[in-house]
Structure 1
Amino acid sequence: MTKFSDLKLGPKVLKAVDEAGYESPTPIQAGAIPPALEGRDVLGIAQTGTGKTASFTLPMISMLARGRARARMPRSLVLCPTRELAAQVAENFDTYAKHVKLTKALLIGGVSFKEQDMLIDRGVDVLIATPGRLLDHFERGKLLLTGVQIMVVDEADRMLDMGFIPDIERIFGLTPFTRQTLFFSATMAPEIERITNTFLSAPARIEVARAATTNDKITQGVVMFKPSRKDRASSEKRNLLRKLIDSEGEKCTNAIIFCNRKSDVDIVAKSLNKNGYDASPIHGDLDQSKRMETLDAFRSGKLRFLCASDVAARGLDVPNVSHVFNFDVPGHAEDYVHRIGRTGRAGRTGTAYMICGPSDEKNFDAIEALVQQPVPRLENPLKKDPAPAVETKSDDAPTEKPKRTRTRRKPRDEKPVDAKPEAVDAAPAVQEDTVVPTTEATALSQDDAKPNRSRGGRGRGKGDNNNAHGNHANGNNTTGNAKARDNRVVGMGDHLPGFIAMSFDERREAG
């Protein structure tokens, strides 16, 4: 069996490795360290959790032990996709370089530019950065990359998923072409293959496992979930997650719960806490100090459940994670490999369960096609405890709104507008071309004989006015048309006031 002492590492590095408790390298370490020490470019492909970080940190420390950095010109550069992974790489350097006098700087978001500028001005041997913050310092004139001797790209496939490939290509152009490049990834997408062909010179390719394979020591399973009602899907899914946790019992010492959306991360963490589970969220919208505090609590065992987005899916090394729960099926099949790789690390066993809803079946099929093996189906634990037939009202249960009922109004029988007016018995017959003045007694008798007015009867439509004028001109009383327009809007009643029936001369004489 190969030991670290067989890899030609520096004595001070071997001493730090021995103090860390490691004796034998992993396959990716045994394959990548010798060509890296020879100064060759390295392309390392291995599934997550196999020790890729030590594959480049150990040879870098050995090669950088001699020499001195100049101000604003780092001697080596390590690019990481996330802040958490960059901070973890910095911790590895602290562990393995404690007997070597090397300086380092960590350039990530959420930290003051001023503090980072002070470190760069002193000169650093190892610069660990995320692409965005690195370019920010470069554009501000605080950093030069012309002195980089060794450049490392870690988790390259994650860089691709996060859209950092244009930034990576730009950074490659800012470094000297004589640099040594160490390129590590868990999967090899076509875009990653193109970059390696462009920027790596005759690399030593170390592939210790088939790309996008899962660890055999991880017990996998999926629950095919179908909600009883669409509006209850979220609550029932969270209930299913709690049932899965309870079914594992004491075997679930701690777990990472992955969600696709940041909002769901917060909701799931809040729901677990409400039901007595110790959980905290971590995602990109939180402050960097809060994210690091949560990670430290999870690593130290103070926190049992870590609800996370894919910010925690790549490269984070927490050796004793017993379970991984995929609350959502990842949108990219490669992310499934990285997510479940948070458990079963360094030769340990682990468990990874996933909840698949009806809308996730397409993504789930892509995962099985990628890993080239079926994921075992698990029995839905909710079916063991069927819900009662009649549900009691609770705060979480949705309240049903009372149904509206419409009563259809029965239409009245109306006669056509052009129907001939019928005479009213109470109205006296009037001869043509004569004007009969209406007295108060006559008006009262006509009021008794008129039909019921429709609602809003004080207004008169334009058509009614024209019709009334026509009747007046013919000397007809308006009550003759009352039955013909039952529902028509009438204004002053169906009687004809006397002053209207008088001629102009008569009114002038009466006045």
Structure 2
Amino acid sequence: MNFADLGLSDELLQAVELAGYSEPTPIQAQAIPSVLMMRDLIGIAQTGTGKTAGFVLPMLDILAHGRRRALMPRSLILEPTRELAAQVAENFEKYGKNHDLKMALLIGGVQMGDQVKALTEGVDVLIATPGRLMDLFERGKILLTGCNLLVIDEADRMLDMGFIPDIETICAKLPANRQTLLFSATMPPPIKKLADKFLSNPKLIEVARPATTNVNIVQHKVNVSARKKRDVLRHLLQTDNVTTAIVFANRKTTVRDLAKSLKRDGFSAGEIHGDMDQPSRNAELQRFKDGDINILVASDVAARGLDVKGVSHVFNFDTPWHPDDYVHRIGRTGRGGATGRAFTLVAEEDAEAIANVEKLTGGPIPLFEIDGARAASSPTAEDQPAERGRGSRRAPRRGAKAAPEAPAHSAEAEPLPRAERPERAERPERAERPQRAPRRQREDTPVAASAPRSAPERAAPVAAQREAPSAPGEWNGPVPGFLHISALTA
């Protein structure tokens, strides 16, 4: 089957061919004819299956007939995040080259002026996030009574972000006699309730079992301690034939710190998270798409729907808190029939989260073994200050026991080279100190005064310490302060 068999116009087929596509994906093959027949639709598909084109293409042909009016968009597409909304807008620009249609993008983080101006002139397609749409609606800048086609995209993500009440309010403002398309990767009960309320006799299309992962993605989990995550990530980035990668973290602070760390280590890395303003996020994403950087560290704001071609790897630096997010994170690779690899770093505190992920996806994720000595060798410049600070190995205090050295093959092995570690065999000065007399002898029997030592003899331990050989495996650092003995003491 090809796109010409789906009933699309010649103008649209030319645009699709120009974009480099010849055969529709399964969800496109099933959704496009139903949308063209003006049926309501529920599409359940995992990310990366081409569902965006599944509603964009037929919408273009439907909207080709009719005229636009000021402040009254003819169709509305709701997206949970700014990045998803921007991506759908790119699809309309790409496929709508031969159509005389106007589009407006309503997202937060940018000035309202241009958005209000576009609405005033009239638009055929309005792509919006619920928050900005509700804001402009309450200001009287938009009317929804002329909207006859509604698309609710990534509905389960809308649920996670708390947008369901806004969506219900928006649906109530739209004409009752309209066409509604709902797309979701999963169908939890609240989404099923939403569909039952606002869709009329919808056709159900399911191209993959809910919450399943792409078979083209090779998945691994790596057991690692929390403090070794950066070492293991660097090791994988250097050894697993990574061309382009997205690294996901749960917290915005982790995203910022990890991006800076990778840059200091010489990687071409960028970052994207919710604390960045929209122009900065767009610019960083464009750098990644253009190849100016090949590693993008991201929070879950980038996990849904971002379509970047050729992402070879996804790394979950943190195991996602919500199992559904795992499916959407790793879906950034293995897109369009390509293969990809996904690694999840699992610390001890992630045991419950990874168990929930494996329960959702229907099976255990294969364990990837890493040689701890290789992964943790050669501390980077970024690690050096920490080694000299509170985490460094200093000479043990008086009476303290030296920590046992970890075996070289252990995943917990210290990243310090062995030549820089203090050995237990050092500190000869302890053995050379005069032994105290037993307590009973000091209390009951006078002790004869020992012959005084000469100054050179008293200074001998210090001299021996300073002239200690610096062969590999021996301590060659500064003498701890409590071991200094003055040669001038009487």
Query: What's the TM-score once normalised by structure 2's chain length?
Result: 0.78
CA spacing shift, 1:353–1:143, aligned 2, 3 Å: same
Q: Distance in 2 between matches of 1:193 and 1:32?
A: 19
Contact 1:74 1:145 in 2 (8 A): yes
Q: Distance in 1 between matches of 2:384 and 2:266?
A: 19
Contact 2:231 2:376 in 1 (8 A): no
| Counterpart mapping for 1:226-237 below 5 A | 226-227=225-226, 233=227, 236-237=228-229
Q: State the one-letter code of the partner of 1:21.
A: G
Q: State the one-letter code of the partner of 1:399.
A: R
Deviation, 1:300, is 1.1
Match in the other structure for 1:316: 306
Contact 2:312 2:333 in 1 (8 A): yes
Which of 298, 303, 307 is the equivalent residue of 2:297?
307
CA spacing shift, 1:19–1:396, aligned 2, 3 Å: same
Identity of aligned residues (%): 55
Q: State the one-letter code of the partner of 1:201.
A: S
Match in the other structure for 1:335: 325
Residue-by-residue CA offset, 1:80-114 (whole Å, 9 max, x unaligned): 01111100000000011110100010001122111
Contact 2:231 2:375 in 1 (8 A): no
Match in the other structure for 1:243: 235
Partner SS for 2:386: coil
Deviation, 1:386, is 6.5
Q: State the one-letter code of the partner of 2:357.
A: I
Say yes or no: does 1:294 pair with 2:293: no
Match in the other structure for 1:420: none
Say yes or no: does 1:399 pair with 2:403: no
Contact 2:43 2:182 in 1 (8 A): yes
Match in the other structure for 2:254: 264
Contact 1:243 1:381 in 2 (8 A): no
Contact 1:225 1:380 in 2 (8 A): no
Match in the other structure for 2:212: 213
Deviation, 1:387, is 6.5
CA spacing shift, 1:344–1:404, aligned 2, 3 Å: same
Match in the other structure for 2:337: 347
Deviation, 1:52, is 0.6
Match in the other structure for 1:368: 358
Partner SS for 1:377: coil
Deviation, 1:399, is 2.6
Q: State the one-letter code of the partner of 2:195.
A: T
Partner SS for 2:113: helix
Deviation, 1:12, is 1.1
Match in the other structure for 2:16: 17
Say yes or no: does 1:29 pair with 2:28: yes
| Counterpart mapping for 1:111-150 below 5 A | 111-150=110-149
Say yes or no: does 1:169 pair with 2:150: no
| Structure 1 unaligned residues grouped into runs of 5+ | 228-232, 406-511
Contact 1:243 1:382 in 2 (8 A): no
Q: Distance in 2 between matches of 1:237 and 1:339?
A: 18
Q: Distance in 2 between matches of 1:344 and 1:147?
A: 40
Match in the other structure for 2:420: none
Aligned length: 391
Deviation, 1:38, is 0.5
Match in the other structure for 1:97: 96
Deviation, 1:382, is 2.4
| Structure 2 unaligned residues grouped into runs of 5+ | 400-490
Q: Distance in 2 between matches of 1:75 and 1:404?
A: 80
Partner SS for 1:321: coil
Match in the other structure for 1:179: 178
Q: State the one-letter code of the partner of 2:390.
A: T
Contact 1:281 1:307 in 2 (8 A): yes
Partner SS for 1:212: coil
Deviation, 1:380, is 2.8
CA RMSD of aligned residues (A): 1.7
Q: Distance in 1 between matches of 2:373 and 2:173?
A: 59
Q: Distance in 1 between matches of 2:196 and 2:234?
A: 47
Q: State the one-letter code of the partner of 1:116.
A: Q
Contact 1:28 1:50 in 2 (8 A): yes
Residue-by-residue CA offset, 1:282-332 (whole Å, 9 max, x unaligned): 011101111001111101111110000001100000021000000000011
Q: State the one-letter code of the partner of 1:185.
A: S
Residue-by-residue CA offset, 1:109-150 (whole Å, 9 max, x unaligned): 122111111000000000000000000100000000000010
Contact 1:44 1:207 in 2 (8 A): yes
Query: What's the TM-score once normalised by structure 1's chain length?
Result: 0.74
Deviation, 1:223, is 0.5
Residue-by-residue CA offset, 1:141-172 (whole Å, 9 max, x unaligned): 00000000100011111111111111111111
Q: Distance in 2 between matches of 1:222 and 1:86?
A: 32
Q: Distance in 2 between matches of 1:117 and 1:226?
A: 51
CA spacing shift, 1:276–1:171, aligned 2, 3 Å: same
Say yes or no: does 1:223 pair with 2:215: no
